Amino acid sequence: MSGIEKLLRKNIIDLVPYSSARDEYSGEDGVFLDANENPFYTGVNRYPDPLQHKVKVRIGQHKNLHHEQIFLGNGSDEGIDLLIRAFCEPGEDNIISIKPTYGMYKVCADINHVDFREVLLSADYQLDKEKLMQAADNKSKLLFLCSPNNPTSNSFFRDDIVFLLENFEGLVVLDEAYIDFSQQESLLPVLKDYPNLVILQTLSKAWGMAGVRMGMVFAARDIIRSLSKIKYPYNINKLTQQYVLERLNTSSEKDQWVKQILSERERMRARLSKLSCIDEILPSDANFLMLRFNSAKKVFKYLMDQKIIVRDRSKIPLCEGCLRITIGLKNENNMLIRALEMYRSE
Ligand SMILES: *Cc1c(COP(=O)(O)O)cnc(C)c1O
């Protein structure tokens, strides 16, 4: 048994996946009478490539990975859900994670009836690695981490992540959705050193493609194969594949966006730190700021009345009183700054 088979659910090991018509022939030209498609050309009359070969090769060039180390999902959410479905036996296995963090890990665990064990971050928003290890047992198949973390906006210490990689007996899923904004290095370059490391990234943030829905999972080939085996055959549609292939050629534009967003973030921090209605601005390694108010609810409503929509995180542990503010365009950020400057708490 390979390392990964010890963690996989037995029904997934035994599963015979759906074999799509296009699995048997990967050439581009031919007389395609195999898939009951409409033969009249519209650009989308043919089924898309189920394994998104071209897109993966292109992403592989960007990330210095082999295409077989890449899984593409309908947003990161699909990767999260498939990892749980491949590795966690409902009602039996469990998942370890942190609190607070991105809400989808728990929602997907709940949908799949998998026990989700949350370990509170330390007071300085770092990993409590001893408590995380104590929460784990021989039914703990996945450990979800998110760095930079949403909503706390900071990155975790790399040594702590490495400690967990070396000690946790299941897969460590590291969500790097905000890595493009981070001072910290991605763990992607050490993927080959850790057969239990799974890295999630997305096109939704720095790449500016939240609307196309594409998330990336990077991991050892046997893990990627397991996810591909259980996904819906055509999970990434043809329009998305074409569009992403084009946009991947514009990484300098993405880099320019990131630079501007980071400079705006620091400008916002400087301006907002002067305001008496803000008690604290959490250290941020992402494209958003967590602002602590003593009257978050009121400020939230005050901003909403002016059609400035922010995210109320004020009831979340360690984020009490915080509103989460995404860095926008310069004039949008100025509108927020001006509104908060005008805010008077009664
Ligand atoms: C925004 C975000 C994502 C991206 O999700 P998609 O489904 O790829 O849009 C993933 N993880 C975290 C923590 C996020 O905040």
| pLDDT tens-place string over residues 232-255 | 999 999 999 999 999 999 999 999
Q: What does the pLDDT look like over 110-142, one tens digit per residue?
A: 999 999 999 999 999 999 999 999 999 999 999
Mean pLDDT of 67-72: 98
d(C-alpha 68, C-alpha 222), whole Å: 9
Tokens representing 125 are 């928003």
CATH number at residue 268: 3.90.1150.10
Ligand 1 atom at shortest distance from the alpha carbon of 202: 8
Question: Which of 219, 249, 279 finishes a domain?
Answer: 249
Cβ(177) – ligand 1 distance below 6 Å: yes
Helices 296-305 & 330-342 angle (0-180, nearest 10): 120
- HSE, CB side, 13 Å, CA atoms: give it for residue 61: 9
**Range with the poorest average pLDDT among 22-36, 257-271, 273-287, 320-334:** 22-36
pLDDT reported for residue 28 = 81
Contact 327, 272 (CB under 8 A): no
One domain for residues 213 and 309 = no
Ligand 1 atom at shortest distance from the alpha carbon of 214: 8
Query: Judging by DSSP bridges, how do beta strands 70-73 and 215-218 pair with one another?
Result: antiparallel
Cβ(207) – ligand 1 distance below 6 Å: no
One domain for residues 199 and 96 = yes
The residue type found at 22 is R
Contact 238, 44 (CB under 8 A): yes
pLDDT reported for residue 29 = 87
Testing ligand 1's pocket by substitution, the residue of 107, 150, 290 carrying the most ligand atoms inside 8 A of its CB is 150
Helix residue ranges, H only, 112-179: 129-135, 158-167
pLDDT reported for residue 133 = 98
Cβ(201) – ligand 1 distance below 6 Å: no
Nearest to 182 by CA among 65, 64, 283: 283
Q: What does the pLDDT look like over 269-306, one tens digit per residue?
A: 999 999 999 999 999 999 999 999 999 999 999 999 99
Testing ligand 1's pocket by substitution, the residue of 182, 204, 217, 327 carrying the most ligand atoms inside 8 A of its CB is 204
Cβ(215) – ligand 1 distance below 6 Å: yes
Q: From ligand 1's centre to the CA of 150, what distance in Å?
A: 9
Other beta carbons within 10 Å of 255:
12
One domain for residues 311 and 228 = no
Testing ligand 1's pocket by substitution, the residue of 71, 72, 104 carrying the most ligand atoms inside 8 A of its CB is 104
Q: From ligand 1's centre to the CA of 71, what distance in Å?
A: 15
Please determine, for residue 185, whether its predicted confidence score (pLDDT) is greater than 80: yes
Q: From ligand 1's centre to the CA of 134, what distance in Å?
A: 28
Contact 97, 119 (CB under 8 A): yes
Q: From ligand 1's centre to the CA of 209, what distance in Å?
A: 11
Cβ(204) – ligand 1 distance below 6 Å: yes
One domain for residues 133 and 16 = yes
One domain for residues 153 and 259 = no
d(C-alpha 90, C-alpha 112), whole Å: 6
One domain for residues 80 and 187 = yes
**Range with the poorest average pLDDT among 20-29, 140-149, 150-159, 234-243:** 20-29
Encode 232-251: b = buried (16+ Cβ within 10 Å), e = exposed: ebebbebebbebbeebbeee
One domain for residues 279 and 198 = no
pLDDT reported for residue 132 = 98
d(C-alpha 319, C-alpha 291), whole Å: 9
Nearest CA to ligand 1 atom 5: 76
One domain for residues 97 and 172 = yes
Nearest CA to ligand 1 atom 14: 177
Q: Which domain does 339 fall in, by range?
A: 252-345
Count of structural domains, the chain: 2
Question: Which of 216, 249, 282 finishes a domain?
Answer: 249
Please determine, for residue 2, whether its predicted confidence score (pLDDT) is greater than 70: no
Tokens representing 77 are 């959410």
Contact 161, 108 (CB under 8 A): no
Helix residue ranges, H only, the chain: 3-7, 10-14, 53-63, 76-87, 104-111, 129-135, 158-167, 221-230, 238-247, 251-272, 296-305, 330-342
Q: What does the pLDDT look like over 188-233, one tens digit per residue?
A: 999 999 999 999 999 999 999 999 999 999 999 999 999 999 999 9
Cβ(202) – ligand 1 distance below 6 Å: yes
Q: How much is the pTM?
A: 0.97
Other beta carbons within 10 Å of 279:
13
The contacts of residue 157 (CB under 8 Å, 6+ apart) are 126, 127
Nearest to 148 by CA among 138, 140, 157, 136: 157
Question: Which is more confidently placed, 76 or 23?
Answer: 76
One domain for residues 241 and 127 = yes
One domain for residues 155 and 22 = yes
Question: Which of 249, 279, 313 finishes a domain?
Answer: 249
d(C-alpha 311, C-alpha 314), whole Å: 9
Confidence of residue 345 (pLDDT cuts 50, 70, 90): low
Encode 177-186: b = buried (16+ Cβ within 10 Å), e = exposed: bbbbbbebeb
- Assign 197 to helix, strand or coil: strand
Conformational region of residue 207, where left means phi above 0, alpha means psi within -120 to 50, and beta covers everything else: alpha
One domain for residues 263 and 222 = no
Testing ligand 1's pocket by substitution, the residue of 71, 74, 76 carrying the most ligand atoms inside 8 A of its CB is 76
